[in-house]
Amino acid sequence: MDGPRSSIAKLLIVLWTLVILAFLYMPMFSVVLASFTKKRYFSFPITAWDTRWYEKAMASLSVRDLIATSLSVAVTVTIFSVVLGFCSALAFARYDWKGRKLFQKLILLPIFFPQAVLGLALLLWFSNIGIITSWKTAAFAHMIWIVPIVTLIMSIQVYSFDPALEEAAFDMGASRWQVLKEITLPILSPGIVSGAIFAFLLSWGNFPLSLFSTGADQTVPEWLYAKMVSGYTPMVPTLGSLTMGAAALMVILVYLGFQLRRLRRP
Amino acid sequence: MANNPAAPPRRTRLGEWLRQPGVLVALPTTLFLLVGFAGPLVIVVVYSFMPPRTFSMFQAPTLANFVSVVTDSYYISFFWSFALATVTVGLLLLVCYPIAYGMAKLFGKWANLVTVLVALPLLISENIRLFGWVLILLKNGILDGSLQIMFGLSIPSLLYTVPAIVLGLVYVYLPFMLFPLVIGLSMVPDSLKEAASDLGATRLQVFREVELPLAMPGILIGAMLTFILSLGSLAESKILGGQAVVMIADDIESAFTFAQNWPKGSVLSVMLIAFSGALIFIVFRRIDLDRIIGRR
């Protein structure tokens, strides 16, 4: 199979991959570029650069409110999703039980479900039970989509986990709680951390579920959408760039944490 | 633990089933999803049978909403949603297949880097990334401005057109096609392809007779996932499409908000859910998740 033809094919595949990667990052780069423009309405090439929109965003009280709401939702979602996701990942990949195949498929349904429709269905649900929507109901809505995703991410780690280790600990007289604390949790911790990061950032960035479930509260993506559709302000690219920067920082810190852990290990 | 010999011998079958550790850990999420996912879906189905423009769900059921949706012009937005989703899936297959092949067979350790680079944008809000495309496609935007500088030609704005929506859908859902394809293609053993070509199969034959059938679970999952996500998408057509076309999620949203007609919005939702559900059912019957995720 090797020959000049297949090495050309290989080169083309590499080039194509690079083109698509550039395609994926181009819009984000554009948003950052636009956030430094001086003009009120964006035009390219940029003739005057400025950072005043960042100063305005930092000083704005409504921006602080938006960030506080988004943070409350994302932190709540992360805590609950990690606990629920950890349990269901064990059910998904660790134990053999009757009904597991069905459970595996049913738990994935919310991921595939149209999110805007799910948000509206939840709105009907809340209003019929008599719950007034706020950031708390938004956190609930996010979890229906995020718990299955976290389950899936953690399951990948659980599949590679050797149950013999737990059994050995049981044989040596460890209690169920001790086994969980000393064996299961430490081995599965990379999966748990990745699940938590995904939970936090997916909740932070979610728009379609928040749209119908936040009531009077507003998250950052909702505000961005409202301003994009009507009443554009240069604060849109600025706040967009800020949240992208925060997400990038978080991912880098966690990556460094993983590397450090690997170095420390004998 | 489930077969503990010291346990009392007679117990109901349900009780025995409930005592398995797998069932115990499955229980919290199952209950949560029953309340948060199954419950709301039942409510939507109930509302779809309520008289138009009512807000209570305890009235005599009627088919009036189904009739008015079928006779009204909603088929246009269903048509657009299906057409755009089909085009998106087709384009994504073409765009992602070579990359997935590279990641599964050629890139070696670089494949991990590509995976991370493709996954990272998922952690950034869809709205922000779509807004980036607005800046690129805008009149006097980045594309237009660059072309003016380099070639001195000005193009009409591409924003608020149907191709802009397709671009947005392809862009946002690319990872959901790529990752299943990579998993599918890495399930194809190289030895089998070599054996086929040793026996005299042409490249095209190896592709059609060996690679495609073996990678099919991944291809099916990717296609199903991106089709359903595109079908129910809202932000792409609103941010990049403006008023160019109305997709079905737009109709559902406006029935619930501006029109204040919950039963009608529910009917549209039920139709979308029924179709997506049928598609998921068909695909899920053909695949084994343990094999795909756990590589067992």
Residue B6 has pLDDT above 80, yes or no: no
Residue A2 has pLDDT above 60, yes or no: no
d(CA B157, CA B140): 8
Residue A130 has pLDDT above 70, yes or no: yes
Domain-embedded: residue B149:
yes
Nearest chain A residue (CA) to B255: A120
A242 touches chain B (CB under 8 A): no
Q: How confident is the model at residue A3 (pLDDT cuts 50, 70, 90)?
A: low
A8 touches chain B (CB under 8 A): no
User: For A40-79, what is each residue's pLDDT tens digit?
Assistant: 777 777 777 888 888 888 888 888 899 999 999 999 999 9
- Name every chain A residue with its beta carbon within 8 A of the beta carbon of B136: 26-27, 30
Contacts of B42 (CB under 8 A, 6+ apart): none
* Cis amide bond preceding A45, omega within 30: yes
Handedness of CA B97, B103, B104, B107 (dihedral sign): positive
Does the distance separating the beta carbons of B41 and A95 come in below 8 Å? Answer: no
d(CA B154, CA A180): 65
Nearest chain A residue (CA) to B283: A105
- Whether B185 and B215 have beta carbons less than 8 Å apart is answered as yes
- Whether A151 and A83 have beta carbons less than 8 Å apart is answered as no
- Whether B279 and B224 have beta carbons less than 8 Å apart is answered as yes
Residue A165 has pLDDT above 90, yes or no: no
Per-residue model confidence (pLDDT) at position B123: 85
Contacts of A111 (CB under 8 A, 6+ apart): A145, A148, A149, A152
- Name every chain A residue with its beta carbon within 8 A of the beta carbon of B138: 42
- Whether A141 and A122 have beta carbons less than 8 Å apart is answered as yes
Per-residue model confidence (pLDDT) at position B280: 85
Its domain, for residue B139, covers: 73-293
- Name every chain B residue with its beta carbon within 8 A of the beta carbon of A114: 228-229, 231-233, 249, 272-273, 276
Does the distance separating the beta carbons of A20 and B125 come in below 8 Å? Answer: no
- Name every chain A residue with its beta carbon within 8 A of the beta carbon of B266: 124
d(CA B123, CA B48): 35
- Name every chain B residue with its beta carbon within 8 A of the beta carbon of A220: 125
Interval B19-33 mean pLDDT: 88
Residue-wise DSSP of B36-97: IIIHHHHHHHHHHTSPTT---S-S---SHHHHHHHHTTHHHHHHHHHHHHHHHHHHHHHHHH
Domain-embedded: residue B6:
no
Does the distance separating the beta carbons of B269 and A121 come in below 8 Å? Answer: yes
Contacts of A106 (CB under 8 A, 6+ apart): B33
Domain count along chain B: 1
Interval B17-22 mean pLDDT: 80
Best to test chain B binding among A14, A96, A124, A212 (most B CBs inside 10 Å): A124
Q: How confident is the model at residue B2 (pLDDT cuts 50, 70, 90)?
A: very low
A71 touches chain B (CB under 8 A): no
Interface A-B, measured as beta-carbon pairs within 8 A, has a size of 278
User: For B173-225, what is each residue's pLDDT tens digit?
Assistant: 999 999 999 988 988 888 888 888 888 888 888 888 888 888 888 899 899 98
Neighbours of A155 (CB within 10 A): 25
Domain-embedded: residue B112:
yes
Residue-wise DSSP of B186-234: HTS-HHHHHHHHHTT--HHHHIIIIIHHHHHHHHHHHHHHHHHHHHT--
Domain-embedded: residue B56:
no
Average pLDDT of chain A to the nearest whole number = 88
What is the share, in percent, of chain A residues with pLDDT greater than 70?
Answer: 97
Handedness of CA A110, A115, A121, A127 (dihedral sign): positive
Does the distance separating the beta carbons of A207 and B28 come in below 8 Å? Answer: no
Q: Which residues pair with A49 in a beta bridge?
A: A37
A90 touches chain B (CB under 8 A): yes
Q: Kindly give the residue spans of alpha helices, DSSP state H, lying in chain A.
A: 4-35, 52-59, 61-89, 100-112, 115-129, 135-159, 163-171, 176-179, 185-205, 208-213, 220-229, 235-264
Give the tokens for residue B173. 């859902």
Q: Which of A12-26, A82-96, B4-18, B62-76 has the highest average model confidence (pLDDT)?
A: A12-26
Per-residue model confidence (pLDDT) at position B1: 41
Q: How confident is the model at residue A1 (pLDDT cuts 50, 70, 90)?
A: very low
Domain-embedded: residue B91:
yes
Residue B79 has pLDDT above 80, yes or no: yes
d(CA B43, CA A126): 10
A93 touches chain B (CB under 8 A): yes
Interval A147-161 mean pLDDT: 89
A102 touches chain B (CB under 8 A): no
Per-residue model confidence (pLDDT) at position B261: 87
Nearest chain A residue (CA) to B230: A114
Domain-embedded: residue B65:
no
Contacts of B120 (CB under 8 A, 6+ apart): A251
User: For B85-139, what is each residue's pLDDT tens digit?
Assistant: 999 999 999 999 999 999 998 988 899 899 989 988 988 988 899 999 998 988 8
Domain-embedded: residue B213:
yes
User: For A180-218, what is each residue's pLDDT tens digit?
Assistant: 888 888 888 888 998 999 899 899 989 989 988 888 899
d(CA B281, CA B275): 10
Nearest chain B residue (CA) to A248: B120
**Nearest chain B CA: its distance from A78 CA (Å):** 14
Per-residue model confidence (pLDDT) at position B295: 54
Does the distance separating the beta carbons of B117 and A147 come in below 8 Å? Answer: no
Domain-embedded: residue B131:
yes
Of the candidates A105, A116, A225, the beta carbon closest to that of B249 is on A116
What CATH number does the domain containing B160 carry? Answer: 1.10.3720.10
Neighbours of A250 (CB within 10 A): 15
Choose between B291 and A82: higher pLDDT: A82
Interval B12-23 mean pLDDT: 80
- The structure's pTM equals 0.86
Does the distance separating the beta carbons of A90 and B22 come in below 8 Å? Answer: yes
- Which amino acid, residue B269? S
